[in-house]
Structure 1
């Protein structure tokens, strides 16, 4: 009944009777292509006309699994008469005709056919049909960018030590080991706010929690620049535990953690105040002669501008 032939009727009496009840020509003249199509159109049987996966939408009617096709089309004839669209694919699972795994991310291997983005899926499967017929494996995921079908974002960065998160541990091994030595629960369960606080409390690192300028005295511990904070506190823990006093401000340059540009006078003229007007020159000189930023910018500091190659003083 699923093959066209010159003689009328076909070898399945039930199918023939069903079709001919709607189209007598098929039992009086010949069983042509139209009669074959009407086997499914009139719901008289299934000819397995589809050759595409039942779990993937496609522009032709039916799908490759005759049993699944018959089950779906019994409820939704459109799927065997017009095209096997998204509704037909969804019906496979909804009607209990079979199981279609949900499409997974296009940039990751998974057990489903195709992937979640229809455009990327079509682009990849046009070159590698197996990705839509057998499974979306590592090769399929790799083809997304190789074929320029889409862009796969890099994996998210590891969870930061200075931010609470659900996973145990954090991104910096040294900080993690230090914190967990004092608070094992931070490596056994979520990295909570308490674990974040422990980073500085246990002297494991700095989260730059302070919101005030590093070059200004303020009553809170730490300052706004995390790197400067960590550098200063490595030498003077008071600055991260109690308050950011004048000693902490002085420590910014004293410990080579940064430049506060304390001096307002010319770098090429001696003056009583430490530092000078050019931050870059000041930092260069003070890196080799701390006196110039701690005590005063004397004649030697002026000479060192040229001597250390920090600048030129006429």
Structure 2
């Protein structure tokens, strides 16, 4: 393993974590321009969640801890995302995170190229830490969903990344996805105001939606791919103005055709704004995170049973 000298890596001031000592390996070096994902380590005082029952590291070194990849919504900021990152670092996870801006996500070709660079960073991270064999995702809105879909597509289709997919233990999906063609076009229109609301924006967005359309088929395909047999926790609201609850319910119907029912966990709220469920329903949200981890551990235990059918 290629490493540099030991250094202390700390999260940002808003994270308020106790510093942990980590190897500054190439995959997490903040000076590396190709590292689009931001690394924030586990809280030093947190317990190892031990997601993998099949394989455990010889000792509880911090670098063997499971990895949570947090993919924020379009236009999210580090200040907004850090509270979600802290949910995982306080539970013993190391984290990699990314926040895409509006214009970046709208460029399908650019975001797919960037996704491959990020996936290479993830692959290098895992190669540098051979005792880390558990990965989970926490994704938000279509901004996080688009990246997650591309990761899954590349993991299943590109030889150099195929070893990562079996490491995925689960995904928490907050306020996503858009799932019908009609809502795809409607969703692009709703982005006009946060993107400035100019005439040019309103004219360009329908054209952007047309470019996106063939890739939207892939979005649906890989979000519900039958090889994604791991825990899915889906958090959504009826009165979400950006991604209506009916869209998420269409996704759930399709997901249940390919994924075992016991791997699908749903939390539905009547009143809660888009990507604001943690703020409006804090206790429920944290309970769902804890239940997600229990479900992941139960699924790992099930895999060890002789009669297990994957």
Same fold, TM-score > 0.5, yes or no: no
Richer in helix (by share)? 2
Shorter chain as normaliser: what TM range?
A: under 0.3
Q: TM-score, normalised by structure 2?
A: 0.21
Tell which has more relative contact order, 1 or 2 (C-alpha 8 A, sep 6+).
2
Richer in strand (by share)? 2
Q: TM-score, normalised by structure 1?
A: 0.21
